[in-house]
Chain A
């Protein structure tokens, strides 16, 4: 229904303009964002290799996923090089520190469900949402690479989704606990990256909502009810 005092589109067009990729401010922010992405892909590689020890029957498939992640890391490294930016890898290591720690602890305890939630659901949903938001505001070189990567990441999310779906009843309780322990970390990672992301024209609000959409879709597919999903996601919203 059209209304007399409804907002008009004319005043708001042009808000999706591309950033200036050549400024120092852009390159400074990019050095951290790019590092996070590269580190995320490298850790994903390591995590899928580790998961192969917990799910030996899927070792080959997981190794294949791991190889894809390493290819992504190389692709994103070239994105930084293309803009003349040196990725701030120490920053990225610290950034992933807490989540990395939780994954390692779960791995040592043989908690495959927790490991899958961290890597295949949370990190992949985080990556998918961030890449989708980055693509429209990226430079042409990075856009092409990111578009290719995002398609692969769905395969990775899908792997975790399918495993957890097949083992839903036995995994449910651990998933609740792992969600409670790890989703707040994703939230604080989003907070930490928000100001740099804004320089790249990626808004925090979009990042959170898109992450929650990807994550809830996965939870839905695994078998959680609407109410369970909303309750799980609430851990990310209530900052």
Chain B
């Protein structure tokens, strides 16, 4: 069985969903009530791969909402309790979705392996970052040419280049795709220099310097709320892949030759009888999902019960090849810019 740990995109959305599911009393509660609400296994699903096997899974809502990010202990408890529930339910491989893996990493939850009487078995969990990185890299390869951008000569900026997903995307674009030039953007200098050495290239720039030069911008970091982007300063056409969480890039910049594509999203080849992706505001919630969730499904399809994506900067090209091949084999495709847009550009 595979598992997905997710949460609502906002407190309001969580309350609406709780009401819809018939959890009226919780829905009426204020944020303090939600801070004390235990994780819930809200849905079971069954998925059949076009390659044959059928797998079962469960969706666990951690009852975390982004409004709790400022409450360190609450956020930590929500993640650990949801992980404990997944393990107690005997789920083989569970993906940490949305803010779950961010909290796990940033709050260093590895040091909290014992939850009450349960010792968490890390091999039962995956961040899903390998599949997310592979999907984002493929989204660049698939969509840039559709906009008339020749990747062999294009400048591709990766914002958040030194993160787990960002560094993997850089590796792929540099060694597999062969882009014109990589523009590396991140906050800290030393990891950038290390990445540049590892890649044997790439130019380190500030965000302000990189944006006007880039034909493609891969965001694998959330935008600071105060950030303003002047669309006229960007190249046209410009492909922007919004791979951060939450996905809010299209509210900052879109239109006039700037094409924003939700990054790290995949679509399954048939409808899945679940309701939970409505929470994530997917365009086609019956088929679309975060690639990190799909990674748990792929690992279950492949009977690969291990923490496939774990820690930082452990994503190799070989791992991306493995998960990418599984993704294609089991009926997932990457989200692309709309066909109508492609026709109009053509």
Chain A residues proximal to chain B, CB less than 8 Å? 1-9, 12, 15, 128, 132, 150-151, 154, 203-206, 208-210, 212-213, 216-217, 226-227, 230-231, 233-235, 237-239
Contacts and interface: CB of A to CB of B under 8 A. Distances in A.
Contacts of A203: 73
Contacts of A132: 116-117
Nearest to B133: A1
Nearest to B162: A2
B245 A233 contact: no
A41 B275 CA distance: 45
B35 to A, nearest CB: 5
Contacts of A6: 69, 99, 102, 106, 222
Contact of B164 (A2, A205, A213): A2
A204 B23 CA distance: 22
Contact of B26 (A3, A15, A205, A237): A237
A227 B42 CA distance: 9
9 contacts: A1-B165, A1-B220, A1-B292, A3-B245, A6-B69, A208-B36, A217-B88, A226-B40, A239-B33
Given A1-B244, A1-B292, A4-B187, A213 B38 contact: yes
A9 B29 CA distance: 29
A238 B38 contact: no
Interface of B: 21-26, 28-29, 32-33, 35-42, 69-70, 72-75, 77, 81, 85, 88, 99, 101-102, 105-108, 116-117, 127, 129, 132, 159-160, 163-166, 187, 220-225, 243-245, 264, 292, 312
Contacts of A128: 116
Contacts of A234: 23-26
Contact of A1 (B23, B29, B77, B101): B101
B183 to A, nearest CB: 16
Contacts of A205: 32, 35-36, 73-74, 77
B73 A2 contact: no
Contact of A2 (B21, B24, B33, B102): B102
Given A2-B105, A154-B117, A230 B40 contact: yes
Contact of A237 (B33, B85, B116, B222): B33
A143 B23 CA distance: 37
B101 to A, nearest CB: 6
Contacts of B28: 238
Contacts of A217: 88
Given A15-B73, A210-B116, A235-B25, A3 B36 contact: no
A209 B40 CA distance: 12
A7 B38 contact: no
A230 B17 CA distance: 14
A234 B244 CA distance: 34
Contacts of A238: 25-26, 28-29, 33
Contact of A3 (B33, B37, B39, B244): B244
| Listed residue (A12, A216, A237) with the most chain B CB atoms within 10 angstroms of its CB | A237
A4 B42 contact: no
B129 A1 contact: yes
Contacts of B117: 132, 150-151, 154
A12 B37 contact: no
B19 to A, nearest CB: 12
Nearest to B186: A4
Contact of A231 (B23, B81, B165, B220): B23
Given A4-B223, A7-B69, A234-B23, A209 B106 contact: no
